[in-house]
Amino acid sequence: MVLLTGGSGQLGRCLLDRMPSAWQVVAPSRHDLDISNAPAVHSVVQALRPALIINAAAYTGVDQAEDDVEAAYDINAHGAQNLAQAAARVDAGMLHVSTDYVFDGSADRPYTETDATEPLNIYGRSKLEGETAVLQALPQAVIVRSSWLFSEYGQNFVRTMLRLAANGVGQLRVVDDQLGFPTYGGDLADVLIALASHMPNVAPGVYHYCGAGDETRPVSWCEFAQAVFNCAGQVSPSLQWPVLLPVSSSDYPTAATRPVFSALSCKKLASVELGNGQGLSPLLHRTWRAALPRVVRQLLARR
Ligand SMILES: NC(=O)c1ccc[n+]([C@@H]2O[C@H](COP(=O)([O-])OP(=O)(O)OC[C@H]3O[C@@H](n4cnc5c(N)ncnc54)[C@H](OP(=O)(O)O)[C@@H]3O)[C@@H](O)[C@H]2O)c1
């Protein structure tokens, strides 16, 4: 039995699409289980007694969090803590998801799990506090940090770019001095499911997963947008796609400061042995570029 929180979010929906049919999965909505409500979390977990909790629930509005500090901490820090404490009481495992925004962006090579964290915004601080609280309450928990999620579901950068294009925007200013690795939600979901399936063999602690595949060069948001429109152009060659104007972060002020560099290194995950000599290697070769055309096609088909 797996308790999945955040099942209506983009990662949650990718997980639900891919979970093995033999698993008994309970995915309460936020209305049915608000993770920031500690008594509710404890009573649901006591009643279900899941073998594993996967927490895909989060407050993900990076800019909104700057003004909505309490809600961000309630969900990302205390909500994660509530789940870990409840898991500890029933001896359940926990897979928790975190973010590249725990880093300040000053690195000049992809971040490893042992690099110092220094979040620049409330979202990153609340997620980091969640990580610490989870491992304190449940030292055997596994935390996977990921970056720049996109998928056919929910709100994400790919969908935003396609929506702006559909609204007839001729030119688009997109930030070109923040670098990272996009990650397809379905690929992250597959990695989480592989880890969940072999939890006893996975050493507890923090891991990084992003859609780098074999690529070593992260991309900017503007390059990501260009890749989106290249895919869209192949699906609908007759349509006029926007011209991209690269701008710097200072030309595009946002409420939350974002790291200029948040590429993650997946090396630690590559060394995980799942048992029977199996590793995660095939999943780690997947790149965001391979998933993007499919996601763009699906999003355009829905319009
Ligand atoms: N999106 C990214 O680019 C990105 C990058 C790196 C890491 N991550 C991490 O990846 C994970 C999944 O992100 P995502 O993009 O899938 O997020 P998302 O699409 O915003 O989904 C968030 C989910 O959390 C649920 N939720 C919010 N508050 C809740 C509460 N108090 N109690 C229970 N459920 C609650 C939401 O329910 P409702 O639908 O009912 O609101 C929704 O199902 C998060 O941990 C996030 O920090 C995301």
CA–CA separation, 198 vs 280, rounded Å? 11
CB 55 within 8 A of CB 96: yes
CATH number of the domain to which 13 belongs = 3.40.50.720
For residue 251, is it within any domain? no
Of 30, 262, 295, which is best to mutate to test ligand 1, by the most ligand atoms within 8 angstroms of its C-beta? 30
CA–CA separation, 221 vs 252, rounded Å? 12
For residue 24, is it within any domain? yes
For residue 130, is it within any domain? yes
CA–CA separation, 269 vs 281, rounded Å? 9
Terminal alpha carbon distance of the chain: 36
**Stretches in the chain below the pLDDT threshold 70:** 276
**Global pTM?**
0.96
CA–CA separation, 256 vs 64, rounded Å? 8
pLDDT digits (tens, 9 = 90+) for 11-21: 999 999 999 99
For residue 99, is it within any domain? yes
pLDDT digits (tens, 9 = 90+) for 109-133: 999 999 999 999 999 999 999 999 9
CB 35 within 8 A of CB 55: yes
Element (H, E) at 94: strand 93-99
The pLDDT of residue 281 is 86
For residue 19, is it within any domain? yes
How close is the Cα of 14 to the center of ligand 1, in Å? 12
Specify whether 207 is catalytic.
Answer: no
In Å, how far from its chain's centre is CA 64? 17
In the chain, the amino acid numbered 255 is A
For residue 102, is it within any domain? yes
From the list 100, 68, 96, 102, the residue with the least C-alpha distance to 83 is 96
SS3 28: coil
The pLDDT of residue 206 is 98
CA–CA separation, 288 vs 181, rounded Å? 8
CA–CA separation, 194 vs 209, rounded Å? 13
Residues contacting ligand 1 via CB (< 6 Å): 5-6, 8-12, 29-30, 33-36, 56-60, 75, 79, 97, 99-100, 127, 146-149, 154
For residue 237, is it within any domain? no
**Residues listed for the chain:** 303
Paired with 128 in beta bridges are none
Element (H, E) at 149: strand 149-150
CA–CA separation, 143 vs 154, rounded Å? 22
List the catalytic residue out of 123, 153, 184, 209.
123
For residue 45, is it within any domain? yes
Checking phi first, is residue 193 left (phi over 0); if not, alpha (psi -120 to 50) or beta? alpha
Q: Count of domains in the chain?
A: 1
CA–CA separation, 213 vs 301, rounded Å? 27
How close is the Cα of 9 to the center of ligand 1, in Å? 5
How close is the Cα of 170 to the center of ligand 1, in Å? 31
CB 158 within 8 A of CB 297: no
Domain membership of residue 48 as a residue range:
2-155+183-216+262-287
CA–CA separation, 24 vs 17, rounded Å? 13
